[in-house]
Structure 1
């Protein structure tokens, strides 16, 4: 039986929306761990996952009951959830033609039940899914599904908050004294709010006003969290003053290399492909903007792995060309795959998506390279492609960088 994989009608808009969060999938586990655990507890399930889905990959940014970081998009159940408006439920995965042969159903942990909720932005775009799974079938009550919806909304809210905080921190790093003054001004009122809520809480306890106490407790916790964030920013600033390092919006070649190896080595190993990232020794510690880099290079690497046969190679070369007034970050992704025809190259450079299958039948969703072209252009960069069908393909990105 040929499985037809689902594709959201707004797929290109969807992956652009996800790329705008500019996430590093390697460091989000702790931020969502409590939500994943809470989802499993509410559903009474063994496993819960918080997944974000890009063109090629399902990235698990937090999990409970299982250790997993990523999965090919076409292998996931959550790919079906992101085309839904409210939920996607499978009461028996073992009896469903789409899933019965998947490794997590036919083998350990032998999953049977799935319930997923789209992670939807305010604009109505599904960027991933919150899901609960179990080895036994279940029936979730309306109250439980409503609580799972609340958790899914909180996941999106946190992602938005992280993006906003990152933008604020980047801006404030350019004006350290302003940041210190803002944090100092914020700490006083917040401390006052916390003190006031504690007084009201004490009075409410004596008057047994349970509902008032509940809301006051929530306000207290929120205020405390903001105060802790302010203290953290101040602490970080002191560390930076003592030991200057990369800013939060910067990478150097060594840091980018480490990120790429951590994210994409599992995909390469799964296909028995050699994957290497090389840096230029003379410029490898010079900082450059990390804006959208993981999305751009990640899509190129995933595409290269997809179209490279077993025992092939995918090599990434990083270098920084130093200019008089500006620098150029040059990223080259070279694979020993099946290659591209000139017609296909022209299609990519025109920003046209086209769905094709990889060397082992991997499903393509047609927008990975289109997204790369779009993101490179938004950064005033240049994308070049050269290929020899049946031998290799080389993607080269040039991104202008202001000198520090």
Structure 2
């Protein structure tokens, strides 16, 4: 029997781009929405409640009650159908629905029978995921409970919007601090020079008994020293913060990036018995840089490589920082099916068609397009080397915000 596959939303690229704009770190968001998940389960009277976000290949469970789930291939989910609809989706009996009756979560533990999902729709109309409740037995929701679940779903989006805006504010504050430091440094040099000249002229004026000139120079001296003291105070405060500062929520180091990429994508590799490694150069490991879009770019490239690499194959990720330009250089190399030169040209021209992975995973055709778009918006570069039957090697270079 062929797999039942949900059609792709007409606005799939825009939808995926919107999700990437939130710049969500799936390794850190857990716990921030748990109160809403518990509330949804309580309102619905179900043992299971999940908040799921769907990117181009993966459903990420960012909050869960009653079912320990972190991620699952998008083509295996019920929520892939929810993002197609403006209203909620209800499946009263999963065991008799042709789309789901053979899924592991129906035939095996947790033996899901009932499902109700509400789309998570952003203010500009993109459905990026679903709030869903599930039961192992028959269940029924009253109109009042359905209305309450929709209110909770709206609150989920409000929280995501809030977290995103808060992240932007933190980023802007860090930029302002850096500008403050640079301005203070730039002020200190010229003012110091002016004060030195003023002192020399004052000494000469004293010898010549030029009282008015001396008063003017004294004013220059005092004004310059007040600005210099302010610059020193700012620089001193900045230095104190720098010495005690750890990585902020918006920052990464190579070591932290390595850990996140291992934690997030190792489960996908294990599912296909793929040897997945993330290596980094020994130099500049402690250098901190902005997290902005880095996880979204590499995540899409890694998921694509895993999708098109056969069982017992390999996916190798290498990370380094290139100086003096201060660029993140990351390569994703796989032993997968590879591409012909014509296919490479098609994918670079955004003309490639959606294809299945090596384990019949659905190829949505948007992961690479999204990654390349994000790289270009960050003024980076992307290069592809591939040979049919021998794998693909993608290298990106992205200027870093330190």
Q: TM-score over 0.5 for the alignment?
A: yes
Name the structure 2 match of 1:261.
Answer: 262
- For 2:389 and 2:243, the matched residues in 1 are separated by 53
Aligned residue pairs: how many?
A: 344
Structure 2 residue 51 is matched with structure 1 residue 50: yes
Structure 2 residue 400 is matched with structure 1 residue 387: no
Cα deviation code 1:4-58 (max 9, x no counterpart): 3221111000000000000001111211111011101101111000000000000
Name the structure 1 match of 2:362.
Answer: 363
Cα deviation code 1:169-208 (max 9, x no counterpart): 11122345999xxxxxxxxxxxxxxxxxxxxxxxxxxxxx
1:5-404 to 2 correspondence within 5 Å?
Answer: 5-175=6-176, 243-323=244-324, 326-401=325-400, 404=402
The 8 Å contact of residues 52 and 59 in structure 2, kept in 1 or not, is answered as yes
Q: Which segments of 5 or more consecutive residues in structure 2 lack a partner in the other structure?
A: 181-237
Q: What TM-score, normalized to structure 1? A: 0.82
- For 1:238 and 1:51, the matched residues in 2 are separated by 42
Q: Which segments of 5 or more consecutive residues in structure 1 lack a partner in the other structure?
A: 180-236
Cα deviation code 1:50-100 (max 9, x no counterpart): 000000000000000011100000011000000000111100000011101
The 8 Å contact of residues 343 and 352 in structure 2, kept in 1 or not, is answered as no
The 8 Å contact of residues 5 and 75 in structure 2, kept in 1 or not, is answered as no
SS at match of 2:328: strand
The range that moved more, 364-373 or 56-65, is: 364-373
Q: 1:327 to 1:140 in 2, by over 3 A?
A: same
Cα deviation code 1:324-347 (max 9, x no counterpart): xx3121110000111011122112
- For 1:240 and 1:49, the matched residues in 2 are separated by 39
SS at match of 1:30: coil
- For 1:62 and 1:376, the matched residues in 2 are separated by 29
- For 2:375 and 2:176, the matched residues in 1 are separated by 28
Q: What's the offset of the Cα at 1:354?
A: 2.2
Q: 1:177 to 1:354 in 2, by over 3 A?
A: closer
- For 1:329 and 1:111, the matched residues in 2 are separated by 44
Q: What's the offset of the Cα at 1:240?
A: 5.3
The 8 Å contact of residues 353 and 367 in structure 1, kept in 2 or not, is answered as no
CA RMSD of aligned residues (A): 1.9
Q: What's the offset of the Cα at 1:238?
A: 13
Q: 1:314 to 1:178 in 2, by over 3 A?
A: closer
- For 1:351 and 1:279, the matched residues in 2 are separated by 31
SS at match of 1:295: helix
